[in-house]
Structure 1
Amino acid sequence: MARLEGSTDLWVDHLLNDAGINLDYQSSRIKNIDEALHTGSKRLNGKPGYPEYVGVVKDFLLVIEDKSDIDNHVFTKNDVITTDDPKVVPEYALNGALHYARHILERTSYKKCLAFGVSGNEKLHPKFQE
């Protein structure tokens, strides 16, 4: 993976596999989620956008967006997580995850969702290594 988040993507994939959670990587095999993401760009321009991981476990939609740098974990303004600024949302893990979750929920029949922003990797979080 050439992206900076490549090592973080692999770390998250390892954690998901260890937990027995099967999510799709940067796409969705679930038709209505895939269709919703065709207009889900984090730049808020109506173009396609895909979270690092997305899927459904039981009746919960799970969305994970990650960033390699922990400084890009979350951006808040007045203690509110920003999801409507096209310059902020692409740069922060939790902001991006919430953006994708809201976008999918507005365009599908899912009612329950867990959105995760992940930052760093196994080197920054060694207690998650085995």
Structure 2
Amino acid sequence: MKACEFYADQTRFNMLKKLSLWGNDVSEKGAKMISESSNLQNLTELKLTRNKVGDEGVVAIVGSQNSRNITFMDLSANQIGDRGAMAIANSPHLSNLKTLDLYNNQITEKGMEALLNSKT
């Protein structure tokens, strides 16, 4: 979580393209910091593997304008369920997304169906 505060608050990172916080206890709160930071608007790659981001964190990230340039997003092992999957599937900000990793989450057939039918 401290890593999120650091990157979110530092204006010198406003041109940052890739952010990897694998296993840093980012949590829901940290995901919201990432989504709200004006310094992280240029991200093209976001790797948050093993961070307990959960559905609420995913909703915040994909609901943010900060995700509009993301082409690669790794959200594996984050306790994400169908609500998070549906938020990804319905996000208007993920039109540039090419690669999405949701390995080892709690997404059921319902969430997978939403992702497969997504226009994003």
TM norm. shorter chain > 0.5: no
Structure that is richer in strand per residue: 1
Structure scoring higher RCO (CA < 8 A, sep ≥ 6) equals 1
Structure that is richer in helix per residue: 2
